[in-house]
Amino acid sequence: MFRRIATALMLMAAVGMAQAQAVNQIDFNGVGFEFDEAAAASVRVTAVRADPVDLLDPGGPRPAHTRFDLLDEDGAEIGSVYVFKTADFAAYPIFAAELTALQTILRERPDLAAFATGSALGDTPMLPYLPPANAMQIVRAQPLYIDNGVVTGIRYLTIYVQDVSPLTAERAAYTFQGISADGATYIAISIRLRADVLPSSIPENLDYDAFAENFEAYLAETAALLNDAPGSRFAPVPDVLDSIALSLRVAGVSAPTVRPPLESTPSLGALGGTWNLISYGDPNAPTPVLDGTAINLTIDALGVSGSAGCNRYFGGYAYAENTISFAALGATRMVCAPEIMAQEAAYLRALGSAETFEIVGGTLRIVYAGGVLTFERG
C-alpha cells in the first residue's frame, strides 16, 4: 500500500539566498535548516499524511510528518530530513519506543562510545533510529551528542542489513536523531554515505560459509574501521552533514540567550578570557589532564571556544549570578588516541551539564553534574 501524500513541492538549492552562495536555507511548516552545496543541490518537500495504525507495511505505519528530501545535481535522492510531532507517537508503538529510548539517552548522557560497535546478535546496545528501517542495525560508529539549544540529539554512522553478506563502501549511512527543546518535535536525518575504508565490491572468490561463521568478528572489525576513519574518508564528509543538524530551527523554540561578560560586575567580568583546564571529576580525587594534552576554554562576547584535547570546539553560553550553562556546542572531528578521546568526551559532557561557577584568584571552578572542572587563567 502506497503512503498518501498531501503536498509536494521542489525548492531548488538557492532557496532564500543568492544562487552563488554555497550555504542555502529552507523553512517549511515551522521547521528550517541550512545545507551546504557539498551536502545537496536541492530539496524536495513533502507533507505526508498519517498511515492507518494497522497498516502492514515494511517498517510499520508512520504518523503524519514533513519530509525534506535532499537531492543531488541530477535530482536523485541522497537522504532525507523527517519532522514528526511527538504527540502523534502514542498511536504508533515503534515510534513511541524510539522516542523513549532517545529521551533516556539525552537525560542520562551515557558515554556513547559504548554503542560504537557492531553485532547482529542483538546483545549490544542499539541507538534510536526513526523512521523505522525494514532491516537490522548492525554497525554504529562515531556517535556524538549535538545540541544547538533548539534541538538536542545524537548523530552516528550506521549500517542496516537484511542478510549476512560483506559490507561495501555504499552501505554506510549518516543519521541524526533529535528532539526540540520543548519536546514537541522529533527530527531525524538520514543520508547515504560512501565510506572508502570499506571495499567497493564483494570479492568474487568469497568463501561464504567461512564468512558467515565469523560474521560477528567481521562486524566488530567493520565498526572499528569506521570509528577510526577521518572525515575525509567519507562522502559527504560527516562534518558537512553535522552542520545541517546544528542549523535546525523550530518555530516557537529559542536557543538560550548568549550574553557577553558584564565588565561592570567584577566577579562576572573576570569570567572573560582564556582558561586552561587543570583537572576534572570528583573534587576529592580530581583527574588531572593527561600529559602532553592541553584543554582550554575561551569566553568572550561572541561565545565560547577552545581545544578539548584533540578537537577544537565552539558554542554559546549563558550565566546569571554564579550559575552558568553552555549550549550549541560543536566540534571538529579529528581522531586521537583512545585515552585522549575519552578525556575529551568527559570534558565536553561536563561543559554540557555545567551548573555553577566561582572564581578565586586565578582559578575558575565550574561545578557540573558529577564533578568539578578546575581551570587556571591562561
Domain ranges of the chain: 5-250, 266-377
pLDDT, tens digit (0-9, with 9 covering 90-100), for 139-165: 999 998 888 889 999 999 999 999 999
Do residues 315 and 329 lie in contact, with contact meaning Cβ atoms separated by under 8 Å? Answer: yes
State the pLDDT confidence band at 283, using cuts at 50, 70 and 90. very high
Fold annotation for 266-377: Lipocalin (2.40.128)
Instruction: Provide the residue type at 21 as one letter.
Output: Q
Of 140, 111, 350, the C-alpha closest to 226 is 140
Angle, CA of 156, 160 and 161, to the nearest 5°: 160
pLDDT at 129 over 90: yes
Three-class DSSP category at 106: helix
Give the predicted TM-score (pTM) of the model.
0.67
Q: What is the pLDDT of residue 320?
A: 79
Report d(CA 320, CA 196) in Å as an integer: 48
Q: How far is 117 from 226, CA to CA, in rounded Å?
A: 9
Strands 296-300 and 194-195: unpaired
Residue reference for cell 550549541: 328
Which residue from 144, 129, 321, 119 is spatially nearest to 221, judged by alpha carbons?
119
Quick check: 201 pLDDT over 80? Answer: yes
pLDDT of residue 16: 38
Residues 6+ apart with CB under 8 A from 118: 124, 138, 139, 140, 159, 219, 220, 221, 222, 223
CA 290 to chain CA mean position, Å = 26
**pLDDT band at 256, cuts 50/70/90?**
low
Q: Where are the alpha helices (DSSP H) in 112-159?
A: none
**Burial category of 165 from C-beta neighbours within 10 Å (exposed 0-12, middle 13-18, buried 19 and up):** middle
Residue 354 φ/ψ region, left for φ over 0, alpha for ψ in the -120 to 50 degree band, beta for the rest: beta
Q: What is the mean pLDDT of the chain?
A: 86
pLDDT for the residue 22: 61
Cell of 325: 550553562
Q: CB of 116 within 8 A of CB of 110?
A: no
